């Protein structure tokens, strides 16, 4: 019968994310199959040696003890966007999280890093973003928060609901007043909605003129009622441009997570519900739960 250490090593070897374990001297103790697949560096060429310089960004990031060691990219909520170098020479964009390993007396005995390709989160449905837009970084941060909430839903049963929000006047304001006015308006709406959120909820940009709100709410009717309250707050956003006051409304798609849902499917339902609210004339909430939908003014 396999002992505990053998079982643990077998589990780590097939772990779906890249995993690197380093000892106190920075030498690689474990380099699993996913790490090989992501970086192209074989286990035999890495284990027992100091991590190659091309791979250093994977462990040179924010650690869970809160000590930032930024050098390779912006910090994300549950990891950092870093750029390592593949064995064949091309860039590898990855989301990496690091944990400092300590002994019984608190001394540092090693480092663990878990990483996956950044493209995994980029595959989730999201709003359109302009090339080079700063919104892309906000979107990446929001994706990370969303994935964290989804993990809590799957593994701990914490309820999860999402609200996909778009500002009805954004397109017209962009045409009539320009990009600067539109961005200022969106920032005003985000502040107004953020001030109206309940404890534990988070809001972030999900596209050039779209937001995503992550809620710990799994009851569709309550989620839709909450969205209706937020619509009322959005209308109070006092936005003025060169003395002109612009009246604002938002359209919202609400979706509650159900067991068996993939995260992408939950977002897709919320997006379709938001689009239904827009097509209904704007200033609406549409609830989509398990394929069922209802619209509210």
Q: What is the pLDDT of residue 289?
A: 57
Share of the chain above pLDDT 90, in %: 38
Q: What is the pLDDT of residue 28?
A: 95
Q: What is the pLDDT of residue 64?
A: 45
| Same-domain status, 273 and 144 | yes
| Same-domain status, 77 and 129 | no
Q: What is the pLDDT of residue 123?
A: 67
| Same-domain status, 204 and 57 | no
* Residue 19 contacts residue 9 (beta carbons within 8 Å): no
Confidence of residue 126 (pLDDT cuts 50, 70, 90): confident
Which range has highest mean pLDDT (8-12, 142-146, 239-243, 290-294)?
142-146
| Same-domain status, 49 and 74 | yes
Looking at the structure of the chain, the number of domains it has is: 2
* Residue 50 contacts residue 31 (beta carbons within 8 Å): no
Rounded to whole angstroms, how far apart are CA atoms 176 and 159? 41
Strands 79-85 and 75-76: antiparallel
Q: Which residue has the higher pLDDT, 159 or 246?
A: 159
| Same-domain status, 43 and 148 | no
Q: Which residue has the higher pLDDT, 246 or 138?
A: 138
Q: Which residue has the higher pLDDT, 42 or 137?
A: 42
Give the CATH number of the domain where residue 246 resides: 3.30.70.270
Q: What is the pLDDT of residue 257?
A: 92
Residue-number span of the structural domain to which 41 is assigned? 4-120
Tell me which of 98, 120, 142 is where a domain ends.
120
Q: What is the pLDDT of residue 17?
A: 86
Task: Report, as an integer, the average pLDDT of 170-176.
Answer: 81
Q: What is the pLDDT of residue 46?
A: 93
Q: What is the pLDDT of residue 254?
A: 96
| Same-domain status, 143 and 260 | yes
Task: Report, as an integer, the average pLDDT of 240-267.
Answer: 84
Task: Report, as an integer, the average pLDDT of 112-129.
Answer: 75
Q: Which residue has the higher pLDDT, 48 or 91?
A: 48
Helix (H, G, I), strand (E, B) or coil at 23: strand
Rounded to whole angstroms, how far apart are CA atoms 236 and 27? 57
Tell me which of 80, 97, 120 is where a domain ends.
120
Q: Which residue has the higher pLDDT, 67 or 129?
A: 129
What token pair was written down for 77?
């909520």
Q: How confident is the prediction for the chain on average, in pLDDT? A: 82
The position carrying tokens 């892309």 is 136
Q: Print the SS3 string covering 1-56.
A: CCCHHHHHHHHHHCCCCEEEEEECCCEEEEECHHHHHHHCCCHHHHCCCECCHHHH
Which range has highest mean pLDDT (105-114, 136-145, 229-238)?
105-114
Task: Report, as an integer, the average pLDDT of 118-140.
Answer: 70
Q: What is the pLDDT of residue 295?
A: 47
Tell me which of 50, 85, 120 is where a domain ends.
120
| Same-domain status, 129 and 221 | yes
Rounded to whole angstroms, how far apart are CA atoms 157 and 168? 34
Give the CATH number of the domain where residue 34 resides: 3.30.450.20
| Same-domain status, 221 and 262 | yes
pTM: 0.59
| Same-domain status, 157 and 292 | yes
Tens digit of each residue's pLDDT (9 = 90 or more) over 66-91: 434 433 333 333 567 788 999 988 88
Q: What is the pLDDT of residue 166?
A: 94
């Amino acid at each position: 019968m396999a002992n505990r250490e053998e079982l643990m090593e077998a589990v780590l070897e097939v772990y779906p994310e890249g995993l690197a374990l380093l000892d106190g001297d920075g030498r690689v103790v474990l380099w699993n199959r996913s790490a090989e697949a992501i970086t192209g560096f074989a286990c035999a060429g890495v284990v027992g040696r100091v991590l190659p310089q091309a791979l250093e960004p994977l462990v040179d990031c924010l650690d869970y003890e809160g000590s930032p060691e930024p050098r390779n990219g912006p910090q994300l909520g549950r990891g950092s966007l870093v750029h390592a170098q593949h064995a064949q020479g091309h860039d590898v964009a990855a989301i990496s999280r690091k944990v400092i390993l300590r002994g019984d007396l608190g001394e540092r005995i090693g480092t663990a890093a878990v990483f996956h390709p950044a493209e995994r989160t980029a595959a989730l449905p999201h709003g359109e973003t302009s090339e080079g837009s700063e919104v892309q970084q906000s979107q990446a941060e929001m994706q990370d928060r969303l994935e964290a909430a989804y993990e809590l839903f799957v593994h701990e049963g914490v309820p999860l609901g999402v609200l996909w929000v778009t500002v009805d006047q954004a397109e017209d304001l962009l045409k009539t007043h320009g990009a600067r006015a539109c961005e200022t308006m969106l920032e005003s709406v985000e502040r107004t909605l953020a001030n109206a959120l309940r404890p534990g909820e988070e809001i972030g940009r999900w596209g050039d003129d779209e937001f995503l709100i992550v809620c710990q709410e799994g009851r569709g009717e309550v989620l839709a009622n909450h969205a209706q309250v937020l619509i009322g707050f959005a209308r109070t956003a006092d936005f003025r441009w060169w003395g002109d006051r612009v009246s604002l409304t938002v359209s919202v798609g609400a979706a509650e997570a159900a067991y068996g849902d993939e995260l992408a499917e939950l977002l897709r339902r919320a997006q379709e519900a938001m689009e239904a609210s827009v097509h209904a004339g704007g200033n609406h909430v549409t609830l989509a739960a398990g394929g069922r939908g209802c619209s509210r003014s």
